[in-house]
Amino acid sequence: MNEKMNEQLASFGVVPVVVLNDAKDARPLAKALVEGGLAVAEVTFRTDAAEESIRIMTDAYPEMLVGAGTVLTVEQVDRAVAAGAKFIVSPGFDPEIVDYCIGKNIPVYPGTVTPSEVAQAVKRGLSVCKFFPAEQFGGVSTIKALAAPYTTVKFMPTGGVNLKNLRDYLSCDKIAACGGTWMVKGDMIKEGRFDEIRQITKEAAEIVKEVRG
Ligand code: 3PG
């Protein structure tokens, strides 16, 4: 399942997790990410501005890979996809959301942090799952242990990933891509510090190149 999208996400290596309070920031933010070398974003449905932000980003930068995060209902799946989202991310494993996405051929990345959750994903043919909150659940060492019996699965850790530990995460061959907010922090967006966002994004993209070649 999701093979093409899995490859695209892995080729970016890092997926900025974007929380936008105001859709007016969507365009300059997308510009900063694209110019920083990561034309990809997971826009979270934690805020009301998510749907409109996805629409603005995909209209302004059609080449950008924009997905929806913190998707908690099938209704949000529909809204996200209608707005232009190309993939769906959930913090946990909700079978209703996963099955709905699979049924509609929408790439879906549910959160899995236990063998039982990974088993449910494997049963449905998924080969990349979110791993959230990554640092609190033991980071790279837990991912390695979890991946040992489930050899077909790779993970997309988010939660506590940053420039300091990014190399460790990216060095693990069981990790498809890392997600995080460190390059798109709320105060940077609120204060319009898009040059800084572009710079940190660039640093992240350079680390991906350095570790993965
Ligand atoms: C997510 O939604 O995936 C996480 O909240 C991102 O975690 P971070 O803010 O620690 O990067």
pLDDT digits (tens, 9 = 90+) for 138-155: 999 999 999 999 999 999
Residue 206 lies in a domain: yes
Three-state DSSP at 48 gives coil
Q: With a threshold of 0.95, does the pTM exceed it? A: yes
User: Is the distance from the beta carbon of residue 90 to the nearest atom of ligand 1 less than 6 Å?
Assistant: no
State residue 64's pLDDT score: 98
Residue 90 lies in a domain: yes
Report the number of distinct structural domains present in the chain.
1
User: Is the distance from the beta carbon of residue 69 to the nearest atom of ligand 1 less than 6 Å?
Assistant: yes
Residue 142 lies in a domain: no
Ligand 1 probe mutation, 181, 182, 185, 200, most atoms within 8 A of CB: 181
Residue 118 lies in a domain: no
pLDDT reading at 191 higher than 80:
yes
Residue 138 lies in a domain: no
Residue whose CA is closest, atom 4 of ligand 1?
159
CA–CA separation, 18 and 26 (whole Å): 9
CA–CA separation, 19 and 9 (whole Å): 19
Mean confidence (pLDDT) of the chain: 97
Residue 144 lies in a domain: no
By percentage, how much of the chain surpasses pLDDT 70? 100
Residue with tokens 């940053």: 162
Q: Which of 42, 86, 154, 174 is the catalytic position? A: 42
The CATH number for 24's domain is: 3.20.20.70
Known catalytic membership, residue 31: no
Residue 152 lies in a domain: no
- Tell me which residue range forms the domain holding 201: 3-108+163-212
